[in-house]
Amino acid sequence: MNLSEFIVLGEAEKKWQLMNNGVALAKRTFEHQIIFLFQLEDYYVEAYCNVDDKAIVEFRILPDTDAISPYLEAIPIDELLN
């Protein structure tokens, strides 16, 4: 699924695409949210989840690889190479 197709999906369809076709790369915590980073095709998507009820409250498409810098420390590169 390319980026323009993902953008026009509804919330439930976006969640389905991430869970079934996305590659979960990392997660981080910010204030009262857990933010998961996924890769779909050649783009990245963040899923913002409420800490209390675990519901996804927002999807953000990252414009380029510079936007994933908050996750770089959390990605276990050494483990992936072994």
Domain carrying residue 56: 3-64
Residue 73 is assigned to a structural domain of this protein: no
Joined together, the tokens standing for residue 5 give: 């197709």
CB-based contacts of 56, cutoff 8 Å, min separation 6: 11, 15, 47, 48, 49
pLDDT in tens, the chain (82 residues): 899 999 999 999 999 999 999 999 888 888 889 999 999 999 999 999 999 998 999 999 997 888 888 787 766 777 777 6
Residue 70 is assigned to a structural domain of this protein: no
Residue 77 is assigned to a structural domain of this protein: no
Count the domains in the chain: 1
